[in-house]
Amino acid sequence: MQDTLVVAAAQINPELGQVAKNTELHRHWINEARRANVELLVFPELSLTGYGLGPSVLEVASHGDSDFLLDLAAEAGPMQTVVGFVEQISPGEYANALAVLQNGSVLVVHRKLNLPTHGGLEEGKWFTHGSALTRTSVNQNWSASHLICADLWNPGLVHAAVLQRPDILCAPINSASGIVSAEFSNENNWAVALGFYAMMYGLPIVMANRHGAEGDHHFWGGSRILGPRGELLTVAEDREMLVSAELSKSDIARARLDCPTLRNANTPLVQRLLC
């Protein structure tokens, strides 16, 4: 069994609405990651389109088999690569989505489940909610579950995803300073939430945020990789960059033995109490 896996987050700053330029930006960082022997690479939420799209979602939306996604999948080769885009579900209906790429193919598309509409966030105005969890095999021995940004602010969704027993949680986000409120610190609260989930479930997390300005908003970066005890393995500086770490299945096993949240989940009881 392959005990270790090299994972990475690409902290970038895409241009709003410029899919072609952003595709080339992805190509650059995919090649950087391949040179670093990365086996799982995560880009930020909506990394191919930018975040504050409003009604221009119509102009940048594409299908999961679009040429630019397949081109990036070919570039990625065996390195599983997670990118963000706007998926056209049907005319006038769009999803904030991620595509999991590998060996020239789009393995799966995950649609964001929890669309925020509080503070300065208005995703529910433009996007359709997803309705399914997504888990992929990175290789024969490693698996990953995928949640997008606000998906992680519904603990029930995180718990449901982790019940599928992934080895890793991929968390592409778009988090800007002060976008919720002046009193709510995205920078501090993301660190608390991710550390809690990683420790509670013995679950390494690859979080990729963007860094830089888009309109009036500043995306604060802080992309990071956490180990299975909630420990911070690496964190990005205040710039575009790649951060990587080597994870160990043995470390995950020891962490889950010490804190057996999954083993003791008692799903039938929880289901009964929720009814």
DSSP 170-210: EEE---BTTSS-SS--HHHHHHHHHHHHHHHHT--EEEE--
How does pLDDT run across 184-228, given as a tens digit for each residue?
999 999 999 999 999 999 999 999 999 999 998 999 999 999 999
Handedness of CA 17, 21, 23, 26 (dihedral sign): negative
pLDDT in tens, 131-183: 999 999 999 999 999 999 999 999 999 999 999 999 999 999 999 999 999 89
Residue whose structure tokens are 């599983």 = 80
- The per-residue pLDDT for 235 is 98
Percentage of the chain lying above the pLDDT 90 cut: 94
Domain residues for the domain of 80 are 4-274
pTM of the predicted protein model: 0.96
Number of compact structural domains in the chain: 1
CATH code of 111's domain: 3.60.110.10
What are 15-45's pLDDT values in tens digits?
999 999 999 999 999 999 999 999 999 999 9
Amino acid at 194: L
Residue 261 tokens, joined = 């949240």
Helix (H) or strand (E) holding 27: helix 19-35
Torsion from C-alpha of 233, 26, 219, 225, nearest 10 degrees = -10
CA separation, residue 219 to residues 64, 95, 237, 253 (Å): 26, 21, 13, 35
Take residue 167 and report the two structure tokens written for it.
């080895």
What's the distance, Cα to Cα, between the start and end of the chain in Å? 40
At 43-75, the pLDDT tens digits run 999 999 999 999 999 999 999 999 999 999 999
Rounded CA separation 232/251 (Å):
14
- What mean pLDDT comes out for the span 229-248? 98
**Cβ proximity of 204 and 250 under 8 Å:** no
Q: What pLDDT, on the 0 to 100 scale, is given for residue 35?
A: 97
Question: Of 7 and 121, which is predicted with more confidence?
Answer: 7
For residue 89, pLDDT beyond 90: yes
Res 1: pLDDT: 74
